[in-house]
Chains A and B, each alone.
Chain A
Amino acid sequence: MVNSVIAGLTGGGVYALLGLCVVLTYRLVAVVNFAMAAVGAMGAFVMVSLMDAGLGVWLALLAGVISGGALSALLGAVLVRWFGDHDERTKAAVTVALYVALMAIGLRLFGSTTTGARRFPRPFDAPAFTVGDVVVPQSVLVSLAFAVLITVGVGMLLNRTSVGLRLQALSERPATAQVVGIAAPRLAVAVWAAIGAISALVILLVAPRLGGDFSTLGKLITTALAVAMVGAFRSLPMTLAGGLLMGCLEGFTASLGAVQQYRGVVPFLVIVVLLWWRSRHEVWDTAHSR
């Protein structure tokens, strides 16, 4: 069982990265982005498609990351231009619509679970070290380092730079941010672009481990949202911890023969438990009017 938990932890770094992307989008542009993983998957599949067509790996990687960033920036531009004055629920609904559209397009372009699995590059597949019977690959260290880098780097960006101050102002009061002279639409689209590019990189990291089909990768948004909920959509360190916890839980359930095949339900259970835990002291009206 311990080996299974450690093995699960290897996926935790990637889950943390996915959760961080969701939290960053919410903190900086106040949108729960259901399309994040699908956008990242689009970028990742652009990369492998270009590689299949004969393009070199670095150029293909660049094209994939730019594609993810551009697609996300386009979504951000739509939200800023046409839904800027709408509430969070409406904006989230727009991203749900885009998620559905991207999944349909992605499945059409890149194939389903059974027909569309691609061979993603595995640059970090070599073993880094062994714990018990578990061989921990380099990709685990890379994803963990990437997650820590984002957590620390974004924290420093927000608190110690003028761009970070503007981003905080934008996330707290978008209209007032413009009133004080912050180019809010441009800044918001830049945030969307950066998050799309990071999402594409994250999906590229996780793709070899999860089988490399568009459907599985796009649906990772469920796990990402569960991880983001651990950090209450605000705390980057808690989100990082939530990712690792999610990996451990997944590893643990994988070790239990009877429930092994249902381990995909873990993110759902985490979401339900967190919702219940956070609203346990609230009266019915308050909990449901939020």
Chain B
Amino acid sequence: MSGPVLSLKGVSVNRGEAPIVHDVSLDVEAGTVTVVLGANGAGKTTLMDGIAGLAKATSGTIQLGGTAMERLPVYKRAQAGLGYVEQARTVFRTLTVEQNLLVSRSGAGDLETVYGLFPELDKRRGLQAGHLSGGEQQMLVLGRALISDPKVVLIDEMSLGLAPVVVRRLMHAVKDLVGLGIAVLLIEQFANLALEVGANAYVLRKGRVVFDGPCDELRGDGERLHEFYFGAVPAGAGAEAGGENR
């Protein structure tokens, strides 16, 4: 590892005019998965949108490979190496699988690497993306991020609405991305699953970082995770934050 490829210092992000994320600092190392956890409404997606440029960062700095991002428009951040897998499965529905990939291709990104990672897509190259299953659409969005030759991929709740077996398949693909040397910043509702693949974790509560450390410290410790999510720990509530997701 050679230092953070993505670094946030004191970043605050608004959604419209409402301040949602406050003074967040985090680092994402190359070739690792960094996990962002938190209850619904904690500000995780707003943080991701702020990094990608879809929401307004009102203060702080965002550096990608040493280059300041915070004043760049969305597409320039993407061209600089920031891949973003948004929460909804944002395929271009009327384009074919291959056209979805070609429209995002940049630098050293190539189709065969994506098809190697997702053989399911290889079989459906000519099919309109709108006709793919939910899992395949999510694979396509991941593949689209990969073919853009990214330094970092932001992944926001890719398991939303998908069967557990598909989620495991996608998590496996995330590990493959990391194997290619790409850094991943992952938001995931299934906390334990995310902590399995992650190296470092940040927990957000009400838009502020309340935990910052190795995933090992949280792995299997539902009670502690619950405390970070909601504050006080009611008796026997530990399973809610991290459980039911294996």
Interface residues of A (CB under 8 A from B): 162, 165-166, 168-169, 172-173, 175-185
Is B148's CB within 8 Å of the partner chain A?
A: yes
Interface of A is mostly: helix
Task: Please name 15 further chain A to chain B contacts, defined as beta carbons within 8 Å, in addition to the given A169-B92, A178-B78, sorted by A numbering.
Answer: A165-B95, A168-B92, A168-B94, A169-B103, A172-B92, A172-B94, A175-B74, A176-B90, A176-B92, A179-B75, A179-B86, A179-B90, A181-B106, A184-B74, A184-B75
In the bound complex, what is the Cα–Cα distance between A176 and B129 (angstroms)? 14
User: Nearest chain-A residue to B74 (Cβ)?
Assistant: A178
Is B237's CB within 8 Å of the partner chain A?
A: no
In the bound complex, what is the Cα–Cα distance between A278 and B166 (angstroms)? 39
Picked from A162, A168, A181, A185, the residue with its CB within 8 Å of the CB of B95 is: A168
B125 to chain A, nearest CB (A): 14
Picked from B54, B73, B75, B103, the residue with its CB within 8 Å of the CB of A165 is: B103
In the bound complex, what is the Cα–Cα distance between A270 and B210 (angstroms)? 62
* Residues in A whose Cβ lies below 8 Å from that of B58: none
* Residues in A whose Cβ lies below 8 Å from that of B148: 180-181
In the bound complex, what is the Cα–Cα distance between A169 and B86 (angstroms)? 15
User: Nearest chain-B residue to A183 (Cβ)?
Assistant: B75
Flag if A165 contacts B99 (CB, 8 Å): yes
Interface residues of B (CB under 8 A from A): 52-54, 73-75, 78-79, 84, 86, 90, 92-95, 99, 102-104, 106, 144, 148
Flag if A180 contacts B104 (CB, 8 Å): yes
Q: Contacts A181-B79, A181-B148 given: A173-B95 contact, CB under 8 Å?
A: no
Flag if B74 contacts A165 (CB, 8 Å): no
* Residues in B whose Cβ lies below 8 Å from that of A175: 54, 74
In the bound complex, what is the Cα–Cα distance between A2 and B233 (angstroms)? 85
Flag if A180 contacts B103 (CB, 8 Å): yes
22 A–B contacts, CB within 8 A, in A order: A162-B102, A165-B99, A166-B103, A168-B92, A168-B94, A168-B99, A168-B103, A172-B94, A175-B54, A176-B92, A177-B75, A178-B53, A178-B78, A179-B86, A180-B78, A180-B104, A180-B148, A181-B104, A181-B106, A183-B75, A184-B74, A185-B73
* Residues in B whose Cβ lies below 8 Å from that of A178: 53, 73-75, 78
Flag if A173 contacts B92 (CB, 8 Å): yes
A169 to chain B, nearest CB (A): 5
User: Nearest chain-B residue to A165 (Cβ)?
Assistant: B103
In the bound complex, what is the Cα–Cα distance between A3 and B102 (angstroms)? 51
User: Nearest chain-A residue to B147 (Cβ)?
Assistant: A180
